Structure 1
């Protein structure tokens, strides 16, 4: 494994770094995970020369942001605080404080709505100076251009606080903040600019709508396609940021191709994403945690399936996939096809055991299926009844043993009151049903057109008793407040045996990486940035529990056959082999820590400092 050596600390000791992202203290997308997880490693290298900049949205920030009070602000003597004080004197609504995450970085948040009175002028300047159109009907675009203008003003003011030979680097993530870059270059503000696209906006739209996206990439006319999808303003902003930055970067070799053909600039560097592995480390406890959370999943499975029929939970494997609902992009279509084939193969093989496959995603729904809720409630009542009988039998058995002279075990049935016998019988009578366990746990708003449901109906993969692969489609995120699981998503992951993420379009892909960090084997694809990175840098990755489905230049049929074979080999592992594999997965997680991967960012900053 070739891991880049950590960059010498500190990098560029005469430079300040401002990292600008829409997701600073604002959890709205995957970039939030990138920024938040990278903070500890960045703070370690840059210390008080580092600050984040983002938009202030009160509802999002209140749980994550702690502003400095006036006394704390007065005591600060650095360029970031100086710039904030200057802007406050000019009447701007801006605050400096701490992001309450590991590393506790300093953060500047600016209220974008304060620029709304000047929106007309800002939009006019974008059009006349940079030919960036901004329609009047899109409030998100208004927020973006307002924040972009305010970010530019902040960096201008900050540049006046920087005393040579000190220099200023500003790193912008995604088009939503990159709109500031063209104006900064036009006004020749002395700041070295880095721009990262994590996934080109047009690429995501094209991949969702074209099953042969990669074959057609070279023929795309960006402006016509952007107009077709009604995203021309955002795509134009993204292109302007990419061309205006001193250093243009992306997150994987896969998105390099997109940048070349859709943004017309070759990236200067690839910045692979990592995780703060320390947050996930459980040391010798991780196997115990797997058992603990698997037992919670057992409870759900019993409630969901055992009302109709039962199977041996000790011989059941829990597989899952999760992420944004993009049926083709996320590889849900390929996963379902492979599961249907695995189901048939298991039925024909005579092997013991079952597979329960969870689809965890987000879809509009009316409510949790009442049948699912009722089943869970009745099972809870069954459990309470059994525990009451257990207590009663235990107390009376203990008394009989202490008081009696007969060494034989008494009739346990005689130790139970008639009340509990009757309640036990009636509870079980209301529990059992002849209906099949439902495939989906919620009532969707649009059940008839849902791709996952339509596939399982066509394939008759509908949780028949003879099906060896069972499907649970949970169109909501797993959370402790859910009456079905009652656990965190990370706990759910630890309780599963395998994560399946064979994406067709995935610029990076955090879900398999989060599996690895928790000691859970994962399947990814060579069309995900993470999968491509693993193939390039991790020898013998399957032994480390990371399987990569080949999708580049492969037909759907070829990829489905390969994924089916991977699943077939996995279900044949015995318990000892699975434990050994989880050990290997957990021990390899350190390879993806930001402490190792941060060096790519620091090299990009060094390159930006070398360019004027």
Structure 2
């Protein structure tokens, strides 16, 4: 592509604003985009009053096209900031405070209806915010397109409906800007999949407008449809979502742009096996504190599985995971296999605080550890001296080396710690514990951490962070410490969680109803040999899918340690297939379509 005389602006609600998965897409893709476009690339995102993001670094250099457009906007009275996003690649970024638009929001909404038949009359705070932001983006692009700002061709890439309102205006007013619109998940698809059994089977007969009114999301759907139908190029992230777009958005995607990941951020070279052991030890500490007050099991023969993501009980496959784990528990009991599995369910739910008994048990375990450390030091020093002075060359009586104080302290701590209460299945006090779908499902199948259960459950209704007193780990460190990620999604346009596992050298389970799983089936033969297990849900009923997943997990727990290490090596080596340096080619294909259109226009 000839890019010297072209500019690319990429607009997303999640630029410097971590509220969803698109933040990861944009951030991780930035280095590859900077490599291709260089100084001709800039991102645009919202700035919320009083919330200047910590990852934004302002600049005082306004001598390029983007800087000149920012200065023009400032002269018009807008609060617009220009600088760099402090992520890999350090791309240029423009942040806009859209709050002043609220004073004339009724006028903006009127013209959306009058010119583009987008009805935004019903109140929705998020819709109002996105309309206000879209209006400021529209004006910024108009300033950028003025002859005095730049002579370069302008291409604007919009991500998701939240930034989609300027596209129809650009087309209607024939602004010299070529547009690309990417939907990462259709609005209706997410709603319908949550409430509709066999969603993909009934999809061809869906009346989009009727369903949009039923789910009270008509304004969002109209913005999304307008953006897709007026863009010069329309893309989505997977073939499976592409089929959905044809029906629910009314346009077939021109290009499929699968999401990649910045592998350099995860790369550990030969250290990734050592990191697995290091972070597994951290998880071991949590498990001991959580379970060993009642009963213990061999940590050397324990496997850590986890599932995580936004709380969408059906869409993310939490329901299928629990039913499959219940089946796995029964299979392991019947076979007599001497392995324990701990399944961590990591998602975000409202809670009051961490359960006090969970914290108390962990604190007492740490007290046991500290006491044992003190005894070990005392015994070690005395053992050395006794051995050096011992004329009989006999093994000294180690118990004699421990002071009565430490014996009593250890005994008292153990008596305080050990009890008959079953380990809690949930680590926090949930706001609505009685109606929580995960808790109720676990109780319904009686997965409540009984001693004889081969599969134990830890439901952690908050995201993992180093400030969390239960783990003290970053999320990516927690991933590395586990043995398997389980994500059998029912509705997942792409799916970053299994991709993060692969980048961390950890085997993963996904489904053929996720964009990622569908991509793997088409592009990575013999996927299981690469440590990627795919549950077939597209043409299977729920019960068959649950049994299939249970069998996959049962096969995994029977692998030897050597086989698991070998599989992690295969996973780590296959991760390069999903690096942005490779997958960015699909974005290049999308941009090539509008660049070719530029060439045709110039010839005419």
Determine the C-alpha separation between the residues in 2 that align with 1:489 and 1:51.
29
Give the counterpart of 1:293 among 271, 276, 279.
279
1:171 partnered with 2:162:
no
Q: Which residue of 2 aligns with 1:243?
A: 229
1:456 partnered with 2:438:
no
- Report the Cα offset of residue 452 of structure 1: 1.3
Of 499-508 and 217-226, the range deviating more from structure 2: 217-226
Determine the C-alpha separation between the residues in 2 that align with 1:166 and 1:481.
47
Determine the C-alpha separation between the residues in 2 that align with 1:485 and 1:497.
16
Determine the C-alpha separation between the residues in 2 that align with 1:248 and 1:524.
26
Determine the C-alpha separation between the residues in 2 that align with 1:157 and 1:605.
22
Q: Which residue of 1 aligns with 2:518?
A: 532
Conserved? CA contact 1:162–1:168, under 8 Å: no
- Report the Cα offset of residue 409 of structure 1: 1.7
Conserved? CA contact 1:64–1:99, under 8 Å: yes
1:548 partnered with 2:548:
no
Q: Which residue of 2 aligns with 1:3?
A: none
Give the counterpart of 2:407 among 416, 421, 424.
421
Give the counterpart of 2:295 among 291, 301, 309.
309
Q: Secondary structure at the match of 2:303?
A: strand
Determine the C-alpha separation between the residues in 1 that align with 2:161 and 2:531.
35
- Report the Cα offset of residue 58 of structure 1: 4.9
Q: Secondary structure at the match of 1:310?
A: coil
Q: Which residue of 2 aligns with 1:159?
A: 145
- Report the Cα offset of residue 62 of structure 1: 2.6
Which consecutive aligned stretches of 4+ in structure 1 deviate over 3 angstroms post-superposition? 10-13, 58-61, 161-165
Give the counterpart of 1:19 among 10, 13, 30.
10
Once the two structures are superposed, residues 282-309 of structure 1 have per-residue CA deviations (whole angstroms, 9 ceiling, x without a partner) of 0010000000000000000101110010
1:599 partnered with 2:585:
yes
- Report the Cα offset of residue 92 of structure 1: 1.6
Q: Which residue of 1 aligns with 2:66?
A: 80
Conserved? CA contact 1:26–1:61, under 8 Å: no
Conserved? CA contact 1:43–1:50, under 8 Å: yes
State the superposition RMSD in angstroms.
1.3
1:32 partnered with 2:45:
no
Give the counterpart of 2:477 among 482, 486, 491.
491
Determine the C-alpha separation between the residues in 2 that align with 1:284 and 1:188.
54
Determine the C-alpha separation between the residues in 2 that align with 1:601 and 1:162.
29
Change (3 A) 1:438 1:256: same
Determine the C-alpha separation between the residues in 1 that align with 2:122 and 2:491.
32
- Report the Cα offset of residue 88 of structure 1: 1.6
Determine the C-alpha separation between the residues in 2 that align with 1:171 and 1:481.
36
1:54 partnered with 2:45:
yes
Change (3 A) 1:162 1:599: farther
Q: Secondary structure at the match of 2:470?
A: coil
Q: Secondary structure at the match of 2:95?
A: strand
Of 298-307 and 222-231, the range deviating more from structure 2: 222-231
- Report the Cα offset of residue 351 of structure 1: 1.2
1:139 partnered with 2:125:
yes
Change (3 A) 1:373 1:258: same
- Aligned ranges for residues 42-441 of structure 1 at < 5 Å? 42-58=33-49, 61-69=52-60, 72-73=61-62, 76=63, 78-135=64-121, 137-161=123-147, 166-441=152-427
**Number of matched residues?**
598
Conserved? CA contact 1:293–1:492, under 8 Å: yes
After TM superposition, the score normalised by the length of structure 2 is 0.97
Determine the C-alpha separation between the residues in 1 that align with 2:167 and 2:217.
19
- Report the Cα offset of residue 610 of structure 1: 3.2
1:576 partnered with 2:580:
no
Structure 2 stretches of 5 or more lacking a match?
none
Of 368-377 and 404-413, the range deviating more from structure 2: 404-413
- Report the Cα offset of residue 404 of structure 1: 3.0
Change (3 A) 1:383 1:59: farther
